[in-house]
């Protein structure tokens, strides 16, 4: 998103001139470079501590969405702040290459990464094109698209990202539910336990009177 629509946002929504837009994009370029470096270091250290790279990817994905939400809702912040977060966290896609290698044998890991790379570029093209289609549904005002056009386009993109993150987290939800089932007896088991206890309580006085 930041590779194509950040400049349009700065020009149309923020009203920046060309030089100001270039300055903002330069700051974001520095951010994405630092983000890629720091993400690699952080992922390596967390992995040594037993934290899966998938967790880091999901966390940064959620942070990416929060930055987008701040832009959509026009949170009173300097626009470069959420856009810098978007650019830095956008580098987290490199983590997916390390993750996917763990799910395939070594013999086909390269092909799996190649397919993932194709998916990245294909999906990026589809999203960029889709945002353009939505934004173009609004008429320009003094050569600029209105805020509502970007809010609608970015909002739809954000909704798709939320669905993708939920799908990504499905295995964790299943593991969590399985853990709960192992930790706590089911309602049926509790019912059997209550009935058995009640029967023992009733039978004990009867047996005592017979003796």
Task: Specify whether 162 is located in the same domain as 180.
Answer: no
Domain with residue 8: its CATH number is 1.20.1250.20
The pLDDT confidence band at residue 200, using thresholds 50, 70 and 90, is low
Task: Specify whether 109 is located in the same domain as 204.
Answer: no
Task: Specify whether 79 is located in the same domain as 183.
Answer: no
Q: State pLDDT tens for residues 119-168.
A: 988 988 999 999 999 999 999 988 899 999 999 999 999 999 999 999 98
Q: State pLDDT tens for residues 96-117.
A: 888 888 888 888 988 999 999 9
Q: What is the pLDDT of residue 44?
A: 86
Task: Specify whether 77 is located in the same domain as 61.
Answer: yes
Domain that holds residue 192: 176-211
Angstrom distance (rounded) from CA 68 to CA 17: 23
**Alpha-carbon dihedral sign for residues 183, 186, 192, 196:** positive
Task: Spell out the long-range contacts of 168-175 with Cβ–Cβ below 8 A and sequence spacing 24 or more.
Answer: 168/54, 168/58, 168/61, 169/58
Q: What is the pLDDT of residue 198?
A: 46
Task: Specify whether 34 is located in the same domain as 128.
Answer: yes
Angstrom distance (rounded) from CA 34 to CA 78: 20
Q: State pLDDT tens for residues 14-27.
A: 999 999 999 999 99
Task: Specify whether 160 is located in the same domain as 188.
Answer: no
Q: What angle do CA 25, 26, 28 make, to 5 degrees?
A: 65
Task: Specify whether 94 is located in the same domain as 67.
Answer: yes
Task: Specify whether 135 is located in the same domain as 204.
Answer: no
Task: Specify whether 58 is located in the same domain as 145.
Answer: yes
**Alpha-carbon dihedral sign for residues 129, 163, 14, 32:** negative
Task: Specify whether 190 is located in the same domain as 150.
Answer: no
The model carries a pTM of: 0.78
Task: Specify whether 117 is located in the same domain as 206.
Answer: no
Q: How many CA atoms does the CB half-sphere of 100 hold within 13 Å?
A: 16
Q: State pLDDT tens for residues 31-76.
A: 888 888 888 888 889 888 988 888 889 999 999 999 999 999 999 9
Angstrom distance (rounded) from CA 164 to CA 149: 23
Joined tokens for residue 204: 């004990």
Task: Specify whether 36 is located in the same domain as 93.
Answer: yes
Based on the structure, what is the number of domains in the chain? 2
Joined tokens for residue 211: 């003796």
Residue 28: name the closest of 60, 59, 4 by CA.
Answer: 4
């Amino acid at each position: 998103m930041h590779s194509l629509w950040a400049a349009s946002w700065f020009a149309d929504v923020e009203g920046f001139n060309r030089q100001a837009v270039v300055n903002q994009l330069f700051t974001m370029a520095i951010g994405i470079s630092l983000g890629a470096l720091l993400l690699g270091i952080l992922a390596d250290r967390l992995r040594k501590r037993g934290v899966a790279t998938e967790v880091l990817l999901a966390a940064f994905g959620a942070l990416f969405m929060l930055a987008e939400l701040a832009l959509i809702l026009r949170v009173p912040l300097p626009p470069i702040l959420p856009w810098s977060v978007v650019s830095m966290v956008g580098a987290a896609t490199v983590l997916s290459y390390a993750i996917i290698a763990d799910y395939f044998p070594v013999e086909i890991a390269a092909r799996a990464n190649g397919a993932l790379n194709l998916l990245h570029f294909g999906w990026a093209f589809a999203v960029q094109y889709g945002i353009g289609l939505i934004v173009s549904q609004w008429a320009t005002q003094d050569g600029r698209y209105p805020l509502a056009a970007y809010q609608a386009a970015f909002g739809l993109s954000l909704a798709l990202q939320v669905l993708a993150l939920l799908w990504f987290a499905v295995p964790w939800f299943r593991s969590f539910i399985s853990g709960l089932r192992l930790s706590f007896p089911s309602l049926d088991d509790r019912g059997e336990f209550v009935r058995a206890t009640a029967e023992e309580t009733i039978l004990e006085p009867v047996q005592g009177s017979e003796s």
